[in-house]
Amino acid sequence: MAGAWDLERAVSENSAALFRSIRKHFPEENLKKWDDLTFRFGPRSFLYADETRIVGYAETPHEAEQLVAKFNDTYGKPPAPTGGSFSLITTGREISVETVALGAETILGDEALSLRYASGSQEWHQDFTKNLSAKNHGLSIFEGTPGTGKTSYLRHLMGVLKESHRFYFIPPATIDVLSNPEFIAFWANQRRRHADRKFVVILEDSDAALMTRGIENREQVSAILNLSDGMLADFLRLQIICTINCRADDIDQALLRPGRLLCHRVFTRLDYAQASRLAASLGRQLSVVRDYSLAEVFVGNGSEKIGRPRIGFAA
């Protein structure tokens, strides 16, 4: 069984049964902790425990399972709260993924979500998650200037849907992977491994890839069109979420076609009243009456324009 257990208490309460043990010492941290413990609870009944798993040994599988279950009931620790995670897609000799775990603090409560985003955000979030769960493929576009909370919302979404969805992140520098012929085989392999999950692909700061097709981005736009709709989309079953800083008016119109576009959400700056409420919840006060980005509120003093030195000649 995988998990976590109170090994200190297990040793204290079963010292006579302790058959073999290793105790790790960390002098620089003034820390000692048990590891690799083996208890003998009967002539042919043993239990092995370390930081992440326990293993029971007995005369029958049923007895071994009972031994593990009893130890877990007595010394098991409740799982620590966690946030979601995403798979970072990397390229090199082959397309691979690195899992990135997010902290529990990235999942926002209803009040925190309402404070951070414009009016009606809670209702929109509920509708959006329902659509992501109901539909096999599609394209969603999150539009907003830097600092308006697009990435923060995506982290929250990963936590909310962590049991049913897998999230994949493609960095802007490797967005060309979308048109790589091996990309189809990569997704087919992921689908076989995680057949019980829905897939969401995130393309952050993808302005260039979504702009009206030209020489530089033709392959990227075509790839997104094929992945988000059509026969290839039926096979791969991918939801694609793109974040952009430009206006949606500049996006290739084929991407905005009804049936392909699942959602277009504009993340706006907070007006002074809402920004003040958010700042108050953080124990801060805003003194300048203007709108604020989410990032500016969390920094605490807003972003002021940087004065640039004048270069040239003055009379």
Each residue's pLDDT expressed in tens, for the chain with a length of 315 residues: 999 999 999 999 999 999 999 999 999 888 899 989 999 999 999 999 998 899 999 999 999 999 999 999 999 998 778 899 999 998 888 899 999 999 999 999 999 999 999 888 999 999 999 999 998 888 899 999 999 999 999 999 999 999 999 999 998 888 888 878 888 889 989 999 999 999 999 998 887 777 655 555 567 767 777 777 778 788 888 899 999 887 777 777 777 777 788 899 999 999 999 999 999 999 988 877 789 999 999 886 544 444 444 444 443
pLDDT the model gives residue 301: 55
Nearest to 246 by CA among 206, 217, 219, 291: 206
Our separate counts of H helices and E strands in the chain read 11, 11
* Runs of H (alpha helix) within 161-217: 182-193, 207-210
pLDDT the model gives residue 171: 87
pLDDT the model gives residue 313: 40
DSSP letter for each residue of 13-58: HTGGGEEEEEEEEEGGGTEEEEEEEEEEEETTEEEEE-SSBEEEE-
Q: How far is CA 109 from the centre of its chain?
A: 16
pTM for the model stands at 0.74
Which secondary-structure segment (H or E) carries 85?
Answer: strand 85-90
- Distance between CA 87 and CA 56 in Å, rounded? 33
- Distance between CA 264 and CA 122 in Å, rounded? 16
pLDDT the model gives residue 215: 57
pLDDT the model gives residue 218: 62
Q: What is the residue extent of each domain of the chain?
A: 7-75, 85-266
Fold of the CATH domain 85-266:
Rossmann fold (3.40.50)
Nearest to 274 by CA among 125, 148, 151, 123: 148
pLDDT the model gives residue 207: 78
pLDDT the model gives residue 216: 58
Q: Which two tokens stand for residue 58?
A: 């007995």
Token look-up 């005369």 returns 59
Exposure string for 181-198, b = 16+ CB within 10 A, e = fewer: eebeebbeebeeeeeebb
Residue type, 40: R
Which secondary-structure segment (H or E) carries 264?
Answer: strand 261-266
pLDDT the model gives residue 303: 47
